[in-house]
């Protein structure tokens, strides 16, 4: 806590001056471009990794970057928090993108694969059930993914499952059908510092370097 308290003072005295005008502008409201869904893991730092300023990312984080699917009526089958973030960002903020981002070394994915049940963490055990479909996809794979541990491969498949779960929300489906919303599945390799994007055409994750960025953005 000492580090956090003195971090506030550091921000006030050294960083705030360059952000002051920006924060004053933001005080009246936000207009983020993207809902960024990722794990609560301390090593995943969205604003740092995508070089965004305050006001640019609407972020929803939880253990394992999970999105419980919705019923046909659009109601969450899990925690209401995720569904609320989706509704608010899509219907009110009208974000143009939703990114689901997993990461290497994810404790949630390791827990899902662990043979012993999480008897001493019943809430966590119930929550991680939303990652079970990713385990089923992992079991269908005929060859191990090159250079990845089992839990890292599960983590990659998990972002695809959670991206699919987003499609169970009527608001998301409607926005996509109207061409005003795009879904992306990303995966962050902590040791390398590389971000990967799922490619629907090649059915693989590819690192987002300059050539890939040009491809993804049409050369912008
Ligand atoms: Zn994680």
CB atoms inside a 10 Å sphere around CB 59: 16
How far, in Å, is the centroid of ligand 1 from the Cα of 45? Answer: 12
How far, in Å, is the centroid of ligand 1 from the Cα of 126? Answer: 16
Q: Which pLDDT band, with edges at 50, 70 and 90, does 108 fall under?
A: very high
Residue with tokens 């360059």: 18
Predicted local confidence at residue 117, as pLDDT: 78
Residue 139 scores a pLDDT above 70: yes
Residue 220 scores a pLDDT above 80: no
Side-chain half-sphere of 7: how many Cα atoms within 13 Å?
4
Token couple for 150: 């089992």
Predicted local confidence at residue 57, as pLDDT: 98
How far, in Å, is the centroid of ligand 1 from the Cα of 43? Answer: 9
How far, in Å, is the centroid of ligand 1 from the Cα of 26? Answer: 30
How far, in Å, is the centroid of ligand 1 from the Cα of 104? Answer: 8
The CA distance from 200 to 118, in Å, is: 35
Residue with tokens 């995508």: 50
pTM of the model: 0.95
How far, in Å, is the centroid of ligand 1 from the Cα of 155? Answer: 8
How far, in Å, is the centroid of ligand 1 from the Cα of 61? Answer: 10
Give the mean model confidence (pLDDT) for residues 69-79. Answer: 91
Residues with CB under 5 A from ligand 1 (ion): 39, 41, 106, 108
Give the mean model confidence (pLDDT) for residues 132-148. Answer: 89
How far, in Å, is the centroid of ligand 1 from the Cα of 185? Answer: 15
Which CA distances in Å does 180 have to 101, 120, 140, 217?
20, 44, 33, 15
Q: What is the pLDDT of residues 183-194, one digit of tens each?
A: 999 999 999 999
Q: Which pLDDT band, with edges at 50, 70 and 90, does 116 fall under?
A: confident
CB atoms inside a 10 Å sphere around CB 116: 6
Q: What is the pLDDT of residues 142-158, one digit of tens each?
A: 877 778 999 999 999 99
């Amino acid at each position: 806590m000492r580090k956090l308290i003195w971090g506030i003072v550091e921000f006030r005295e050294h960083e705030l001056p360059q952000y002051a005008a920006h924060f004053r502008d933001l005080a009246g409201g936000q207009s983020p471009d993207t809902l960024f869904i990722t794990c609560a893991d301390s090593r995943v730092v969205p604003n740092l990794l995508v070089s965004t300023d305050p006001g640019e990312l609407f972020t929803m984080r939880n253990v394992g970057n999970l999105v419980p699917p919705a019923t046909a009526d659009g109601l969450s089958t899990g925690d209401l928090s995720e569904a609320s973030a989706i509704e608010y960002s899509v219907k009110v903020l009208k974000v143009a993108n939703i990114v689901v981002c997993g990461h290497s070394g994810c404790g949630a994915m390791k827990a899902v694969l662990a043979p012993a049940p999480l008897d001493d963490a019943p809430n966590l055990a119930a929550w991680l059930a939303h990652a079970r479909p990713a385990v089923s996809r992992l079991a269908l794979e005929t060859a191990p993914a090159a250079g990845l541990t089992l839990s890292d491969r599960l983590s990659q498949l998990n972002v695809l499952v959670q991206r699919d779960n987003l499609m169970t929300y009527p608001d998301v489906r409607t926005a996509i059908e109207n061409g005003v919303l795009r879904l992306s599945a990303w995966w962050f390799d902590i040791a390398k510092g590389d971000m990967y994007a799922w490619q629907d055409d090649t059915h693989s994750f590819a690192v987002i370097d300059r050539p890939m960025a040009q491809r993804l953005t049409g050369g912008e």
